[in-house]
Structure 1
Amino acid sequence: MTRWKELALSPYFHKHEETQRLVDYLSTCFPDFTERQCAREAIWEALFPGQAHDQGKLAVLFTYAQRLADEFLALEQLRQEEGVRNRWLLTQYRERQVWRSYEKKLRQSRQRMAQVRRRDVAFYQDQLALAAERNQYYLRHDQRREDRSLEEKQQALDHYYLLEKLRDAVEMQVRRQILSGSYSARLLEAVIQELDQNAEAYQEAPTVQVYYRLYLMMTTPSLHHYQQALADFQDHEQHFGPDETATIYNYFQNFCIGRINQNEAGFLRELFQLYRAQLDRGLLMEDGYLVEWHYKNIVTTALRLGELDWTEGFIEGYKQQLSPAAADNAYRFNLAALRHAQGDYGKVLELLTRVEYSDLRYNLGAKALLMRTYYELEEFEALTALVDTFRQYLQRNRLLADSRRSGYYHLFRLARRAANLRAKLPYQPADKSRTILHKLRQDLAATEAVFNRGWLEEKLELIEDAL
């Protein structure tokens, strides 16, 4: 607020005295912009004491103040963009033909770029703009000597374009897995073909290589593509900033989760290690808080590995690192999952009644956990009613991606059949029960997308033991 006031009071930026008084008054109200202080009538009286209220004039002052605020925010952002400031300064030197200062700043800019470790989109954008500026300098001087600025500009343009296309393509694949809908990406096929045929030409652009591997991992899922993408990323992790590094780890996590859901349990331990490494490095934090969905996924992974003691310590130890808005809900839901693994089913029901279901992920996860709890408590009528209502919920919710819809649908469908079989065991002939169990196992094995597959298989084994 102080810097905005300083900008508004500077005659370089603004000379309108009444607007300056408005900004000055607002700065005295900061940070508590109460109705008593900031109602239109209160502001008018502070600026023009004793004068008749003129809403039209006040509206004009508000408009001027808003423009000053917009300019201030843009300048604050520019202060953080050293590459942009240098390019604009070079442009001014060139247009004013201050060649000595221009050449010095150009050398400094190139030296700065050479020292940058990151190879993200912003780096290639800066590299492209700097090469374009060098090319302008060459054209202006019309020097008859070899100059590589145009070639470097083309190379930077290639790297920038390929990286941005691949980053968007990877993110589109992620969104297809979460939400239904189609995404168009013209020229992507040409980008992939170029990298398929000329991968060696982009060895100096390691981030392009990493996103290319990520795209292959997502579009043609296989252990080979996963391992190759992870190896490339780990070899070049230093070229990514913290936010992008965390995003890429999330891509690998989602891949592991998808394979686990397809009954490839070997990915569980690797997923767990990925989470723990990121926890140690603070990569799962946003705005100073642990992201609640990382919190949930870590708990789910640890429980499936049987790490109950570690999970209890994690849930309690990291609760305070969740954002205040999410902490209570995330804590209750994940504690309910732990209590389910410990067999404290009454506590599960108590905790789930205190979870808010405004988010789709909590809604789905809580219903699946509630269904499993009903099964363990042999509340088969309640389970059947829950399955019926959940089926209607899936039909109504059109935003849910087909893969997730199928995974939950088959979990509830097969669990209901297992519950019906278990409920009839005491009075149904054993041979008939074995026939039903055999068919149920066949159907489970033939169904590709089933969430909580391991839990279902365990319940079927217990039924077989009881026969």
Structure 2
Amino acid sequence: MRTIKVLELLHALKSHEKAAFSAYLTSPYFLPAPEYPRLLQLLETLPLSTQELPKTELYGRLFPQQPFDDQQLRYLLSDFTERLEHFFLLRQLAGEKEESALLQLEALHARETSKAYQHAARRFESIDRYESAKHFHRHYRAAEIRQEFAAQHGARDEVTDYVELADNLDRFYFLRKLQLQCERINYRNVLAREFDVSLIDEITRHVLRNQFLGSPLIETYYQVLQLLSGPEPETAFQSLLQLLEAHRDRFSVEDLNNVYQYVKNHCIRRINLGDEVYRERLFGIYQNILADERLMRHDYLSPWEYKNIVTLGLRLRQEAWVADFIELHLHHLPPNERDNAHTYNSAMLCYYRKQYRQAVKLLQTVEFTDLYYQLDARSILLKVYFETYESESLLHHISAFKIFLRRNKLVSAYQRKIYENFIRYALKIFRSSDSESKRKALAEEIRSVDHISDRAWLLEQLE
């Protein structure tokens, strides 16, 4: 479907930015056209799905006393679009104080304002303190500017300048190479084609031999790479936990999130392989994340992460902790997701507390806006009917669940497989005899199945 550029940009404006953009359009500094405010009002009435701008109508509203001039309107729309893109640039720059400080440093050096430049240099060093690839690249650029400034003012210390210049360039380059290799390994199962990260073996040997260039973040991504592809992933996992504990205050929020995601994924892989120790480890990692104010302020918690934390806590029998978590961290979710997430996760808590009637009542009020809610809610209902021995309701629900899996086109082949196996074995257990040997054989069969949902719950029913 065709998208009109100016409408796409307008719809990308956040609600709190609209007044700011309107003020920007009328600022005398930017030499505004008098038609901009009216054009903004007219374009805001058009939906994003608009396939063709109503040019004649727009022109008539903007210039009611003039005959239609297509070229004039095109020039006006083009200039308006450029203003909108420039506004986004200003907003982006305002949100990146480190990059703004570096650009200010460059501007003051270019204008040869020595005292102001030196003040800006000190400010830049105080602001840009969290390690990241961007941090190292900015400090490489700052060292270049400082070198030029020293040359102009006859104060160059060549050895010191070049060492800092080279070190920051190396840190940026080697860190990005390590990050790319980690991404390549992590996503190789979903990428359409493979790609190689050149010199990666030489780089890993070099950073190891040179004490990670004095950077805890480079050491951290080195350990992530060992976690993903090294011979001793458990050693790398423990090293990562120690590095996060010791240096988390030095890392950017983006890198903290990335590294925690690798660590969480490792835990989930181990859990899926039946290593139950990793449930406790993953729970501890989530608790560390929730206790980190920088991480929690940075962005909303996704509803699925919120649900995963609740599920994990409940499986570890931490009902009291989960009850507090549901209430205390609800405000970290996107506002439009809060009611549904609260209802669904409260239903989960009720189920684990064996408050079955209340669990079913809550699930009936969940808005199934997402496939995962639908699948999980159906699984909980199956468990409720199973544990309360409601044979008729269980069989009816299983039949409806199977139809849902078969007919819903949003259900992936993998999801269909794990839930079909879950249903099949739940029914087998429900119909099984009390023979201990047969139940043991059924338990072994469940343990041997590769793709199945809620394996632990199924095995519990055979104990």
Pick the TM interval, shorter chain: 0.7 to 0.9
TM-score (norm 1): 0.75
Q: Does 1:195 align with 2:204?
A: yes
Contact preservation (8 Å) 1:246, 1:284: yes
Q: For 1:132-281, list aligned pairs within 5 A.
A: 132-134=144-146, 146-175=158-187, 180-182=190-192, 184-187=194-197, 190-196=199-205, 198-199=207-208, 200-220=210-230, 222-281=233-292
* CA shift digits 1:20-76 (9 cap, x unpaired): 20234468x69x9558xx997887567545444555533432221221222232234
Supply the AA of the counterpart residue of 1:223: E
Instruction: Look up the SS of the partner of 1:147 in the other structure.
Output: helix
Secondary structure of the residue that 1:273 maps to in structure 2? helix
2:276 aligned counterpart, secondary structure:
coil
Structure 1 pair 420/88, CA: closer, same or farther in 2 (3 Å)? closer
Q: CA shift at 1:232, angstroms? A: 1.0
- DSSP-derived class of the 2:275 partner: coil
Query: Separation in 2 of the partners of 1:281 and 1:144?
Result: 42
Give a deviation string over 1:391-435, Cα, whole Å, max 9, x none.
64799855x7xxxx38x745642652353243242xxxx6xx444
d(CA) in 1 for partners of 2:69, 2:372 = 52
CA distance in 2, matches of 1:95, 1:311: 57
- Paired residues of 2:313 and 2:319 also in contact (CA < 8 A): yes
The structure 1 residue matched to 2:117, chosen from 105, 110, 115, is 105
Alpha carbons of structure 1 residues 114 and 339: separation in structure 2 relative to 1, 3 Å? closer
Which segment is superposed worse, 131-140 or 221-230?
Answer: 131-140
Q: Match for 2:203: what amino acid?
A: E
Cα 1:299–1:160 shift into 2, 3 Å? same
What is the distance in 2 between the residues matched to 1:288 and 1:132?
34
- Secondary structure of 1:20's counterpart equals coil
**Alpha-carbon distance in structure 1 between the residues aligned to 2:110 and 2:26:** 30
1-side partners of 2:80 and 2:276: how far apart? 59
* Corresponding position of 2:35: 22
For 2:286 and 2:156, the matched residues in 1 are separated by: 57
How many angstroms apart in 1 are the aligned matches of 2:191 and 2:146?
44
2:12 corresponds to = none
2:3 aligned residue: none
2:79 paired residue among 51, 64, 89: 64
The aligned counterpart of 1:366 is 377
Cα deviation for residue 354 of structure 1 reads 4.0
Q: Which residue of the other structure, out of 329, 333, 348, is the alignment partner of 1:337?
A: 348
- Report if the CA contact (8 A) 1:284-1:294 is conserved: no
Per-residue deviation, residues 172-231 of structure 1 (Å, max 9, x unmatched): 55556xx7445634226x335532454243241111111221232233574322111111
Task: State the match for 1:465 in structure 2.
Answer: none
Task: Return the alpha-carbon distance in structure 2 between the equivalents of residues 145 and 215 of structure 1.
Answer: 38
Is this contact kept in 1: 2:181–2:225, CA < 8 A?
A: yes
| CA RMSD of superposed structures (Å) | 4.2
Q: Which has the higher contact order (CA 8 A, sep 6+)?
A: 1
Match of 2:427 in 1: 419
Task: Pick which of 295-304 and 435-444 moved more.
Answer: 435-444
Q: Partner residue of 2:459?
A: 457
Give 5+ residue unaligned stretches, structure 1.
462-467
5+ residue gaps in structure 2? 1-17, 47-52
Query: 2-side partners of 1:437 and 1:381: how far apart?
Result: 21
**Alignment partners' CA distance in 2, 1:411 and 1:95:** 64
Q: 1:140 to 1:445 in 2, by over 3 A?
A: same
Separation in 2, partners of 1:144, 1:321: 50
Distance in 2 (CA, whole Å) between partners of 1:137 and 1:68 is 34
Tell me the equivalent position of 1:314. Answer: 325
Going from structure 1 to structure 2, the CA distance change for 1:76 and 1:387 (only over 3 Å counts) comes to closer
Q: Name the CA distance, whole Å, in 1 between partners of 2:334 and 2:407.
A: 29
In 1, Cα distance between equivalents of 2:292 and 2:156: 52
Contact 2:429 2:462 in 1 (8 A): no
Does structure 2 retain, via aligned residues, the 8 Å contact 1:292–1:330?
Answer: yes
Letter in 1 for 2:78: T
Distance 1:264 1:203, change over 3 A: same
Question: How many aligned residue pairs are there?
Answer: 435
Give the 3 Å change call, closer, same or farther, for CA 460–180 of structure 1 in structure 2. farther
Shift of 1:114: 6.7
Structure 1 window deviating more from structure 2 (250-259 vs 80-89): it is 80-89
Paired with 1:194 and 1:394, the residues of 2 have a C-alpha distance of 47
SS in 2 for 1:118: coil
Alignment partners' CA distance in 2, 1:144 and 1:191: 35
Q: Distance in 2 between matches of 1:201 and 1:441?
A: 49
**Residues 279-311 of structure 1: per-residue CA shift (max 9 Å, x gap):** 343466477644312320121122112122332
2: distance between equivalents of 1:361 and 1:292? 10
Alignment partner, residue 443 of structure 1: 445
CA separation of 1:417/1:111 partners in 2, compared to 1, >3 Å: closer, same or farther? closer
